[in-house]
């Protein structure tokens, strides 16, 4: 096992200053590969990065797509084996953008080779795998982060600040829905996300992973959950024309109790016809409330019981002021940002954590905690009873 991360062996001349490079190896080159590559390229154009990302190698299984991806995003080289990528001496950071079943093996090998690790969510197939990843990364002394990019929406970070300032008082409710509709049509083809052996779970690990992480981030740990899951379309047609059995949930709903005393309702589905990627949550407290809607991601709705009686009501904060989280790096107030910016914020925070030798947030411990909640919901759905989370 490598004793310390192989960090930043090269330097780049940048505006007269010498900045250390961080050499990135990315596994997975489709949806998240594009989002992350874009973020690595653009982060230093806007944020005062302490390390300069260099896209050294991209890895995927489809060679012709891989070459196009590498050329478009200016990767210096390609690999078709992730084992070879993580073993390379010229890579400091491994970015895992592959289906969930591959997260643990890639992360364990990356840690063994002393690489820092960014891993897409959900961190793993189950909490046992997530714990192994956490232990391996900690033992190797590398920086580890889970890509819960919604924590990097400025409006959500502002919500966190308002809650932490105590402006909502005692929190009573956290309610969240995450709706997509790409599986509503029974003719929608069978993909890895329908196969529990590749995905771990369906809408649950894909969508509830985000809202569970947001709930932990905003109001704290879960105490108990009670869930139900459903598969509505049991077979779908594969690329080769054969039928694939859908083993991953189409939707998962659950009730929650939090250690702080609040209660919650969560729903994730990929069959919400007409809803493309709708993530909404509301937080109700004794002194105020917050509401967020990803389709209006530059806004945060805030109600304060401290406002005078004659002007009480929800106000819409346009979260684009210089004083708002991350916004100092972008445009003049009122000039909105988009979904891809959340990944740029994520990469900036990761680079700062690596450079300062501080833990990244959210790290593999957060990924593990989130996975424990996801697993508990599935256990509850199987037995039809509440499942309790262990404390600590």
Ligand X SMILES: NC(=O)c1ccc[n+]([C@@H]2O[C@H](COP(=O)([O-])OP(=O)(O)OC[C@H]3O[C@@H](n4cnc5c(N)ncnc54)[C@H](O)[C@@H]3O)[C@@H](O)[C@H]2O)c1
Write out the residues near ligand X by the rule CB under 6 A. Answer: 27-33, 59-62, 82, 97-100, 102, 120-121, 147, 149, 206
**53 or 60: CB nearest ligand X:** 60
Burial class of residue 114, CB neighbours in 10 A (0-12, 13-18, 19+):
middle
Q: How far is the CB of 291 from ligand X (least distance, A)?
A: 21
Q: 29 or 208: whose CB is closer to ligand X? A: 29
With helix as H, strand as E and coil as C, how does the chain read? CCCCCCCCCCEEEECCEEEEEEEEEEECCCHHHHHHHHHHHHHHHHCCCCEEEEEEEEECCCHHHHHHHHHHCCCCEEECCHHHHHHCCCCCEEEECCCHHHHHHHHHHHHHCCCEEEECCCCCCCHHHHHHHHHHHHHHCCCEEECCHHHHCHHHHHHHHHHHCCCCCCEEEEEEEEECCCCCCCCCCCCHHHCHHHHCCCHHHHHHHHHHHHHHHHHCCEEEEEEEEECCCCEEECCCCCEEECCCCCEEEEEEEECCCCEEEEEEECCCCCCCCEEEEEEEECCEEEEEEHHHCCEEEEEECCCCHHHCCCEEEECCCCCCCCHHHCCCCCCCCCHHHHHHHHHHHHHHHHHHCCCCCCCHHHHHHHHHHHHHHHHHHHHCCCEECCCC
Cβ distance to ligand X smaller for residue 202 or 285: 202
Measured from the CB of residue 342, what is the shortest distance to ligand X in angstroms?
Answer: 8
Is the distance from CB of 56 to CB of 12 less than 8 angstroms?
A: no
Q: Which two tokens stand for residue 46?
A: 């806007």
Helices 339-356 and 31-46, axial angle in degrees (round to 10): 70
For residue 42, the minimal CB distance to ligand X (Å) is 17
> Are 387 and 226 in contact, with CB atoms under 8 Å apart?
yes
For ligand X, the nearest residue by Cβ is: 30
Residue owning tokens 């809408």: 203
Q: How far is the CB of 119 from ligand X (least distance, A)?
A: 8
Q: Which is nearer to ligand X, 34 or 296 (CB)?
A: 34
Return the number of the residue (27 or 131) whose C-beta is nearest ligand X. 27
Residue number, 252 or 304, with CB nearest to ligand X: 252
Closer Cβ to ligand X, 147 or 344, answer by number? 147
**Nearer to ligand X among residue 19 and residue 198 (C-beta):** 198
Quote the least distance from Cβ 107 to ligand X, whole Å: 12
**Shortest CB 303 distance to ligand X, Å:** 28
Largest Cα separation within the chain, whole Å, is 66
Contacting residues for 15 by C-beta, under 8 A, at least 6 apart: none
- Closest distance of CB 206 from ligand X, Å: 5
Nearer to ligand X (CB atom), residue 59 or residue 350: 59
Write down the least CB distance from residue 280 to ligand X, Å: 16
Shortest reach from residue 176's CB to ligand X, in Å? 15
Structure tokens at 144: 């580890």
21 or 195: CB nearest ligand X: 195
Least Å distance, CB 12 to ligand X, is 28
């Amino acid at each position: 096992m490598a004793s310390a991360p192989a960090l930043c062996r090269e330097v780049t001349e940048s505006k007269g200053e010498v900045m250390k490079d961080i050499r990135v190896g990315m596994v997975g080159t489709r949806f998240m590969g594009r989002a992350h590559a874009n973020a690595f390229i653009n982060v230093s154009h806007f944020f005062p990065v302490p390390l300069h990302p260099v896209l050294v190698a991209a890895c995927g299984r489809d060679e012709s797509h891989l070459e196009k991806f590498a050329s478009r995003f200016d990767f210096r080289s390609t690999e078709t084996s992730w084992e070879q990528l993580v073993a390379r001496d010229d890579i400091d950071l491994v970015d895992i953008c592959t289906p969930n079943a591959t997260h643990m093996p890639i992360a364990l090998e990356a840690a063994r080779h002393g690489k820092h690790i960014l891993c897409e969510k959900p961190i793993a197939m189950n909490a046992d795998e997530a714990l192994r990843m956490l232990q391996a990364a900690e033992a190797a002394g590398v920086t580890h982060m889970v890509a819960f990019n919604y924590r990097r929406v400025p409006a959500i970070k502002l919500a966190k600040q308002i809650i932490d300032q105590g402006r909502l008082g005692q929190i009573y409710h956290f309610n969240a829905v995450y709706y997509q509709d790409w599986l509503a049509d029974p003719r929608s083809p069978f993909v890895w996300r329908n196969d529990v052996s590749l995905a771990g779970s369906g809408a649950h690990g894909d969508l509830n992973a985000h809202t569970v992480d947001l709930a932990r981030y905003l109001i704290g740990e879960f105490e108990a959950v009670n869930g139900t899951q459903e598969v509505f379309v049991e077979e779908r047609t594969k690329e080769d024309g054969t039928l694939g059995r859908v083993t991953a949930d189409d939707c998962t709903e659950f009730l929650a109790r939090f250690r702080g005393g609040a209660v919650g309702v969560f729903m994730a589905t990929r069959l919400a016809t007409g809803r493309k990627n709708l993530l909404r949550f509301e937080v109700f407290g004794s002194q105020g409330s917050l509401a967020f809607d990803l389709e209006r991601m530059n806004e945060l709705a805030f109600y304060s019981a401290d406002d005078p009686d004659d002007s009480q009501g929800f106000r819409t904060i346009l979260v684009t002021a210089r004083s708002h989280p991350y916004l100092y790096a972008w445009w003049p107030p009122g000039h909105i940002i988009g979904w891809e910016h959340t990944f740029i914020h994520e990469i900036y925070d990761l680079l700062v954590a690596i450079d300062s030798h501080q833990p990244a947030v959210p790290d593999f411990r957060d990924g593990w905690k989130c996975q424990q909640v996801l697993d508990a919901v599935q256990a509850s759905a199987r037995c039809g009873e509440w499942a309790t989370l262990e404390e600590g």
